[in-house]
Copies of this chain bind each other. A is one copy, B any other.
Amino acid sequence: MDELLNPLIQGDRRALSRAITLIESTRPDHRARAVALLSSLPDRQALRIGMSGTPGVGKSTFIEAFGTMLTEAGLKVAVLAVDPSSTRSGGSILGDKTRMELLSRNPNAFIRPTPSSAQLGGVARRTREAIRLCEAAGYDVVLIETVGVGQSETLVAEMCDLFVLLLAPAGGDELQGVKRGIMEMADLILVNKADGDLLSTARRTVADYAGALRLLRKRPQDPERFPKALAVSALTGDGMRKAWDEMQELADWRREHGHFDGNRAEQSRHWFMAELRAGLLARLETHAAKAHLEDLGERVASGDTSPADAAHQMLDWLQDQGRK
């Protein structure tokens, strides 16, 4: 049994942190240990909430306030981040230590930045596994934060129970360029900064989005009134409790109607196939395979071997390697 397992289950944050570092490693021995650890985890369930919002909507402030509110209600909260852009910028959306200062010092909260230099596929697997580690460590709510770039939203939606879109108050009826696909993933749209001078703008924005949401096709996993739009203020706290109530109501309804477990089962199947395809293609990534590929590639380029023939030779070679 892994030495991390017991402290992890007891909710030790250092053990959780080390376990996440373990699953983030690409070293084969680390990977083997990670797989073994993951399959020995107890079956605990948190509410997995995906949260997206473009820069400027006050996402950090919202998560800080929302997370603090949940801990005050006696819940343990973990915050993970999926930021595909961090591979390019070298930075990461939760990397700035000064962000969420209050929440990061809270003993009932756990904040983990996106690992830098990771590919989107790798980020997905690691985040999914990090969610399971947080659940095993007894966290009640896992927030998965992402930026508004489409592809990462889809990824996050595929690992969450609820998906929340955070928006800023917008003047007039402009819909802030939110892609229809992202709108369709949202269970709840929260218009932040509904305070001070922006209050009336925020209310108008809520009405605009409520109207847009009504035009979307009703989904079987939604009760009446969902998806819906609400105004919140991370600054004053207005609407925060209401937002959490709505999330719980939706989650409860889905649990009662079988959509909650059904969704998780579908997500698991999806990840199984994704892992399997990745595993098959990983066979081309070994040192020996790359050398053989290089060689065959040259013969194909020079016309000595046809692409189909070379592919057959490579497949046979892989099969032979498996026999050894």
Contacts and interface: CB of A to CB of B under 8 A. Distances in A.
Interface of A: 35, 38-39, 43, 125, 128-129, 132, 264-266, 268-269, 271-281, 283-284, 293, 296-297, 300-303, 306-312, 314-315, 318-319, 322-323
A307 B271 contact: yes
Given A319-B322, A322-B319, A311 B272 contact: yes
Contact of A300 (B268, B283, B284, B301): B268
Tell me the dominant secondary structure on chain A's binding face. Answer: helix
Nearest to A32: B312
A310 B43 contact: no
A315 B265 contact: no
A292 to B, nearest CB: 11
Contacts of A266: 301
What are the 3 A-B residue pairs with the smallest beta carbon separation, nearest first? A275-B311, A265-B301, A271-B307
B281 A314 contact: no
A277 B281 contact: yes
A54 B132 CA distance: 50
Contact of A38 (B35, B268, B308): B308
B268 A308 contact: no
A46 to B, nearest CB: 15
A272 B300 contact: yes
Contacts of A271: 300, 307-308
A308 B39 CA distance: 9
A315 B268 contact: no
8 contacts: A39-B309, A266-B301, A269-B297, A271-B307, A272-B296, A275-B308, A276-B310, A323-B323
